Amino acid sequence: MFQKGLKGVVAVHTKISLVDGDQGTLRYRGLNVKELANYSFEQVAYFLSYDKVPSKEELEKFSVKLKKGRNLPSHVHKIVDALLPTISIMDAMRTGISAFATPEFLEMEMTEQATHLTGALPVIISRHYRKQQGLPFVEPNENFTHTENYLWMLNGVSPTSTQVKALETYLKLTMEHGLNASTFAARVTVSTDSDLPAAITSAIGTMKGPLHGGAPSGVLALLEEIREESRIRTVVEEKIQNGEKIMGFGHRIYKTEDPRSILLREACLQLHGSDAWLDLATAAEKEITALLEQFKPGRKLYTNVEFYAAAIMRSIEMPASLFTPTFSVARIVGWSAHVIEQVDDQAMFRPQSLYVGECR
Ligand code: ACO
């Protein structure tokens, strides 16, 4: 049987998340993501990793381990620092994570390695980002949570509680999402009995592509091009007629509204009320959905997580070059959980190809 892009093919059993594309629901370990509002990044990461809500002591221990990950081994920071600033942050992350694979690191339990890499990733990002900006590195702040510290290291100023809440909402909602392309890449890599840094390196390489992790910048560019409500139809029609995809719309699994998109839209409105940009985004969502139904009938194209992620990123003044890296700061938790699940339920991925060339 041939399925281009493995569309609709079930390739693994998982207990990590349930993505129901018909109902438009997402559950982490059985819990609807709507229920995560009062949980912290650390609590959700622990829950996804260990399949239990942490006790106070467990959470404390986990947070300490995450913080330990912020101290990059000297060989890792030297490698990251040696990279040219013209290299993208995603590529710097790939190189930095890959450099963790020393024999000593690989001797640790895989769950410990995972917590360590989750703690380390924001540091690699901020090191490279600040170098690109010609700014000095900001040391991690031991008193800050994972989300606070990420914003602190990027900007060198203490974040406001509104900024932390906005980013944390986004990070929690994007931590895990079934067998998406980057998670699949991670599982394929470890299915050959490779290791966690190799699997996360594969995942980062896959996440880099604009069809998967790079859409929020595309959404901002789209809304910038639209500029005002009266231009939505003209801009979008032209793109559809040129065979272009409308960024922030469509999803391989969701054939109704992406629940994360709904929650992020609510979060944006709660945090900031409406402003001209958000008004334009809301109007664009309605009109583009209708236009896609008109030009692509039956394809069921709605906004995906990236559409309102763009609004969240904009509200915290996150530059576009940091959108996909920030997505990865969340998703590394899901990647790691899947890698561990793959190791526990091992079967090497090796699909077949159908030769359609000539025989000479
Ligand atoms: N704009 C216009 N048309 C679209 C869009 C879109 N955003 N998405 C799908 N379509 C159309 C396709 O042109 C195709 O039409 P056809 O039947 O006439 O050929 C049909 O809908 C099916 O599209 P596929 O590309 O086969 O759908 P697939 O499930 O493979 O694509 C994807 C999913 C890659 C997300 C796609 O919808 C897309 O490229 N969207 C824009 C990029 C984007 O927002 N990416 C972020 C996704 S969320 C995430 O990864 C975290």
pLDDT of residue 23: 94
- Residue in 77, 128, 251, 338 annotated catalytic: 251
Q: How far is the CA of 204 from the centre of ligand 1 (A)?
A: 21
CA 140/CA 327 separation, integer angstroms? 20
ipTM of model over 0.85: yes
Among 182, 188, 187, 189, smallest CA distance to 204 is for 182
Q: How far is CA 321 from CA 67, 185, 202, in A?
A: 25, 23, 20
Helix (H) or strand (E) holding 31: strand 31-32
Q: In the annotation, is 272 catalytic? A: no
Domain ranges of the chain: 17-212+320-345, 217-315
Q: Is 325 in the pocket of ligand 1 (CB under 6 A)?
A: no
- Give the number of the atom of ligand 1 that is nearest the alpha carbon of residue 258: 48
Indicate if ligand 1 lies below 6 Å from the C-beta of 304. Answer: yes
**pLDDT tens by residue, 186-205:** 999 999 999 999 999 999 99
Q: Which atom of ligand 1 is nearest to the CA of 304?
A: 48
Q: Which ranges of 208-303 does DSSP label H, i.e. alpha helix? A: 215-226, 232-241, 259-272, 276-295
Residues 70-87: tens digit of each pLDDT: 999 999 999 999 999 999
Instruction: Give the list of residues 6+ apart from residue 343 with CB closer than 8 angstroms, or none.
Output: 110, 190
Res 199: pLDDT: 98
Sheet arrangement for strand 25-28? 17-20, 25-28, 31-32
Residue 251 annotated in active site: yes
Ligand 1 touching residue 245 (CB < 6 A): yes
Burial status of residue 117 (CB atoms within 10 A of its CB: 0-12, 13-18, 19 or more): buried
Class of domain 217-315: mainly alpha
**Would the CB of 301 count as within 6 Å of ligand 1?**
yes
Q: What is the pLDDT of residue 230?
A: 96
**Residue 64's CB: how many other CB atoms inside 10 A?**
12
Nearest-CA residue for atom 13 of ligand 1? 245
Contact 124, 93 (CB under 8 A): yes
Cα dist from 230 to 226, 233, 236, 242, 280, whole Å: 8, 7, 11, 20, 10
The pLDDT assigned to 315 comes to 85
Looking at residue 114, its pLDDT comes to 98
Q: Pick from 139, 204, 177, 341: which is nearest to 259 by CA?
A: 177
Q: For residue 340, report the distance from its CA to the centre of ligand 1, in Å.
A: 30
The domain 17-212+320-345 is placed in CATH, from the list 3.40.50.300, 3.40.190.10, 1.10.580.10, 1.20.1300.10, at 1.10.580.10
- 332 alpha carbon to ligand 1 midpoint, in Å? 24
Give the relative orientation of helices 323-344 and 41-50 as an angle to the nearest 10 degrees. Answer: 20
For the CA atoms of the chain, what is the radius of gyration? 20
| 8 A C-beta contact, residue 222 and residue 232 | no
Strand, helix or coil for residue 155? helix
Contact 283/232 with Cβ under 8 angstroms? yes
Pairwise CA distance, residues 251 & 262, whole Å: 14
What residue ranges of the chain have pLDDT lower than 50? none
> What is the position in ligand 1's atom list of the atom closest to the CA of 249?
7
